[in-house]
């Protein structure tokens, strides 16, 4: 039975399309600009304007790896909570997470990320700090999905709700960054960086 689940997962990965998107869901009246930073050799993605209380969908190139952060109008352009993505990674899987490593004091930018059409897995917090974001490089917080369309909530909900059906997500599976980057081997029962 486990083999069938794995085979089905791999078949879905092989059929995954390159139509990657991130839809930004503004949860308040604040207009923001999202700034993108690709890893070396990645295509440039233009800054994205996200008006308050609106949604904006951006197409992301096939295989794109990098991050983004949001800055409210009138605020200094300082990186805050990062949305980190690796589209069409190993086996066609999309990896994502919310990172507080650069600026854990950002309470107004990137909040949560999750696959479009699903409620799990999710990374990030409705209110920071929480247990579902990166705070140190060796945290285990990267999420994975076969879906190549992601949602990312921005700002603070003015009506006490978010774009997701629920906010508690203790069962969202997570993995270390080394796994995402293919830098692991197994020895016994432990994953060890190669």
Counting beta carbons within 10 angstroms of the beta carbon of residue 60, is it exposed (0 to 12), middle (13 to 18) or buried (19 or more)?
buried
DSSP secondary structure, 126-183, as one string: SSSS-SSSBSSTT---BEEES--EEEEEES--SSS--SSS-S--TT---B-HHHHTT-
At 33 the pLDDT is: 98
At 176 the pLDDT is: 53
At 138 the pLDDT is: 81
At 8 the pLDDT is: 44
Mean pLDDT per 10-residue section of the chain, whose length is 194 residues: 42 53 97 97 97 97 97 96 95 94 94 93 91 86 94 83 45 51 39 34
Q: Where are the domains of the chain?
A: 2-193
CATH number of 2-193: 2.60.110.10
Predicted model pTM: 0.76
């Amino acid at each position: 039975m486990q083999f069938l689940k794995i085979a089905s997962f791999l078949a879905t990965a092989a059929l995954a399309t390159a139509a990657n998107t991130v839809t930004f869901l503004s949860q308040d009246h604040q207009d923001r600009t999202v700034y993108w930073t690709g890893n070396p050799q990645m295509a440039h993605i233009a800054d994205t304007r996200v008006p308050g209380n609106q949604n904006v969908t951006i197409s992301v190139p096939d295989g794109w790896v990098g991050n983004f952060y949001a800055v409210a109008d009138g605020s200094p352009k300082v990186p805050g909570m990062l949305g980190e993505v690796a589209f069409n990674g190993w086996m066609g899987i999309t990896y994502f997470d919310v990172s507080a490593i650069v600026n854990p004091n950002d309470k107004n930018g990137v909040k949560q990320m999750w696959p479009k059409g699903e409620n799990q897995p999710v990374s990030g917090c409705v209110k920071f700090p929480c247990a579902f974001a990166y705070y140190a490089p060796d945290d285990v917080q990267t999420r994975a999905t076969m879906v190549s369309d992601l949602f990312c909530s921005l700002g603070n909900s003015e009506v006490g709700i978010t774009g997701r059906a629920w906010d508690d997500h203790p069962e969202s599976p997570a993995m270390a960054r080394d796994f995402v980057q293919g830098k692991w081997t197994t020895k016994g029962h432990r994953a060890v960086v190669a």
